[in-house]
């Protein structure tokens, strides 16, 4: 075994599907999950004579992401044709940007494993159209093409080769994802393909100045798969170098089930795609006025939000970190707090029951159904002691699934706390009479015995009593 130390050098090409309602060069819908080939037209299927027209929202989103990642905005940009032949590419070229991309020379700061900070450079961000989707049917031994995705707007964020570990890669991706989500430019769902990362990776001896030969890995649709692919490819390249073989520059496909990658094709360079300016699209001139308007619309990002939460709301730092870590949670927190003015209680519901049910049901925050109004109503019901905490949790579970109005639900299901002291006293007396052993245990100093009696009373009251009131009344009657 060699004693040489190696360093991994990683750069990423991150494709982000933008949250426009229509495609980049036509009016077809971009909605996810439609029947195959139902969201197409002559433009996005590459029919001869059809002419593309740029969706202005795509340009605005691209510039907004560029500003948020400290890029220079190209004031005179244009589109180019990237020529290649593949069944999912109906025109036999993709409209992209090579010579004058919309954003250049940016960077985002990440935290390193050692607790320090470093800036990962962004070489460029360019706009382009997505290709269709090939579906391989093993039963029929054929491939089918769905062109719904063809023409869906993308930005490609090309980093500098500044990352040195899987941890740094994940930190960079999470930072990008949060920035883009906060902008509302994309939901960045890896599992739906709206954020995809290709990993360019090479290894070199520690301390060497020159980079090694890089490979590009595709088919990475989760942070876990990205980490595993980086570890697998690093090991593969080191093994090749150690055995005296050469690493070949190529595109590889990662198979997360098998935990290994395999070669797809030799890695092309720009000249292989025979780029040339697209003759059907006019150049883009970004005016001072447009840039100022986009800059003015930039939202409050996570770092500023965390500082404001610390100053404005009496909630723990850990809660702030989790809630601001997802824009949907942050929006829900702020809206519910604005209604009920109970930031700590809103935070408790989000950090407790909401996160528990999200994990249990494998749901993203963006898929949460309950409204901030209904969460605020539930908090008001418990504050007013109209329902107890166990009923509140039961109501919240239904609210999580169906966004029911908690006030109506409690009324319809008869879940309100019974505050009739006479009825409660009668039930407590019956529980005491039915459990002489527990009463004797309590009188003999066994404090836990009262817990059993509280439980029996709550059961008899069908959970509709205030546990504190039950406890107080039991002690009063047991000591009388």
pTM: 0.83
Please give the full DSSP string across 290-340, using - where no structure is assigned: HHHHHHHT----HHHHHHHHHHHS---HHHHHHHHTSHHHHHHHHHHHHHH
326 to each of 136, 351, 364, 365, how far by Cα in Å?
35, 12, 10, 7
**The two three-digit tokens of residue 258, written as one number:** 């098998």
Distance linking the first and last C-alpha atoms of the chain: 82
Mean pLDDT of 221-238: 93
Q: What digits encode the pLDDT tens for the residues 322-366?
A: 999 999 999 999 999 999 999 999 999 999 999 999 999 989 898
Phi first, then psi: give them for residue 278, nearest 5 degrees. -70, 120
Provide DSSP, 416-457.
Answer: S----HHHHHHHHHHHHHH-HHHHHHHHTT-THHHHHHHHHH
How is residue 11 written in tokens?
């750069």
Is the distance from CB of 234 to CB of 207 less than 8 angstroms?
Answer: no
pLDDT, mean of residues 396-408: 95
Average predicted confidence (pLDDT) for the chain: 91
What does residue 472 show for φ and ψ, rounded to 5 degrees?
Answer: -65, -45
CB 124 within 8 A of CB 270: no
- CA gap 71, 102 in Å, rounded: 9
Helix (H) or strand (E) holding 260: strand 260-266
Which helix (H) or strand (E) segment holds residue 9: the answer is strand 6-17
- How many Å apart are CA 461 and CA 467, to the nearest integer? 11
pLDDT, tens digit (0-9, with 9 covering 90-100), for 138-185? 888 899 999 999 999 999 999 999 999 999 999 999 999 999 999 999
In this structure, the dihedral spanned by the alpha carbons of residues 203, 205, 211 and 216, taken in order and rounded to 10 degrees, is: 0
* Alpha-carbon gap, residue 44 to 95, rounded angstroms: 11
The confidence band for 256, taking pLDDT boundaries of 50, 70 and 90, is confident
- Which segment, 201-205, 384-388, 427-431, 449-453, is predicted with the most confidence on average? 201-205
pLDDT tier for residue 429 given thresholds of 50, 70 and 90: confident
d(CA 290, CA 295): 9
Q: Other CB atoms closer than 10 Å to residue 104's CB: what's the count?
A: 18
Tell me the pLDDT band of 431, cut-offs 50, 70 and 90: confident
**Sign (positive or negative) of CA dihedral 256, 262, 263, 264:** negative
180: exposed, middle or buried (C-beta count within 10 Å: 0-12, 13-18, 19+)? buried
Contacts of the segment 81-87: beta carbons below 8 A, 24+ positions apart: 81/275, 81/276, 81/277, 81/278, 82/128, 82/273, 82/275, 83/273, 83/274, 83/275, 84/273, 86/131, 87/132, 87/134, 87/143, 87/145
CA distance 401 to 76: 49
Please tell me the predicted confidence (pLDDT) of residue 286.
Answer: 97
Task: Give the pair of three-digit tokens for residue 41.
Answer: 């037209």
Is 84 or 64 the better-scoring residue by pLDDT? 64
Is it the case that residue 270 has pLDDT exceeding 60? Answer: no
């Amino acid at each position: 075994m060699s004693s040489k130390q190696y360093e991994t050098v990683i750069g990423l090409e991150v494709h982000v599907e933008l949250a426009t309602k229509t495609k980049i060069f036509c009016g077809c819908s971009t909605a996810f999950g439609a029947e195959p080939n139902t969201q197409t037209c002559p433009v996005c299927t590459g029919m001869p004579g059809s002419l593309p027209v740029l969706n202005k929202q795509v340009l605005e989103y691209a510039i907004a992401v560029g500003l948020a990642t400290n890029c220079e905005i190209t004031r005179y940009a244009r589109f180019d044709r990237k020529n290649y032949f593949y069944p999912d590419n109906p025109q036999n070229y993709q409209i992209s940007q090579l010579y004058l991309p919309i954003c250049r020379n940016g960077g985002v700061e990440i935290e390193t494993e050692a607790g320090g900070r470093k800036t990962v450079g962004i070489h460029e961000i360019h706009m382009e159209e997505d290709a269709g989707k090939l579906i391989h049917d093993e039963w029929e031994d054929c491939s089918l093409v769905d062109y719904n995705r063809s023409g869906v707007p993308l930005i490609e964020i090309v980093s500098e080769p500044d990352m040195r570990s899987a941890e740094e890669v994940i930190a960079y991706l999470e930072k990008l994802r949060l920035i883009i989500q906060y902008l509302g430019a994309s939901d960045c769902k890896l599992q739906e393909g709206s954020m995809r990362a290709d990993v360019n990776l090479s290894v070199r001896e520690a301390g060497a100045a020159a980079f090694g030969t890089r490979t590009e890995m595709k088919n990475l649709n989760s942070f876990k798969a990205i980490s595993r692919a980086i570890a697998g490819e690093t090991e593969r390249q080191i093994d090749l170098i150690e055995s005296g073989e050469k690493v070949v520059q190529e595109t590889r496909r990662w198979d997360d089930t098998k935990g290994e990658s395999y070669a797809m094709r030799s890695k092309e360079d720009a000249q292989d795609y025979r780029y040339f300016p697209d003759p059907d699209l006019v150049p883009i001139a970004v005016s001072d006025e447009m840039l100022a308007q986009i800059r003015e619309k930039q939202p409050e990002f996570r770092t500023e939000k965390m500082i404001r939460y610390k100053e404005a709301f009496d909630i723990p730092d850990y809660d702030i970190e989790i809630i601001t870590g997802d824009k949907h949670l942050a929006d829900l927190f702020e809206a519910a707090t604005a209604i009920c003015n109970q930031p700590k209680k809103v935070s408790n519901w989000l950090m407790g029951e909401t996160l528990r049910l999200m994990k249990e049901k494998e749901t993203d925050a963006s898929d949460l159904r309950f409204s901030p109004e209904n969460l605020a109503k539930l908090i008001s019901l418990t504050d007013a002691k109209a329902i107890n905490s166990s009923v509140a949790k039961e109501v919240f579970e239904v609210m999580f699934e169906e966004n029911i109005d908690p006030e109506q639900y409690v009324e319809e299901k008869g879940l309100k706390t019974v505050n009739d002291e006479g009825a409660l006293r009668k039930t407590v007396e019956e529980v005491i009479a039915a459990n002489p052993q527990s009463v004797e245990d309590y009188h003999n100093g066994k404090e836990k015995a009262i817990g059993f009696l509280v439980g029996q009373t709550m059961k008899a009251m069908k959970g509709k009593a205030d546990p504190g009131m039950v406890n107080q009344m039991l002690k009063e009657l047991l000591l009388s």
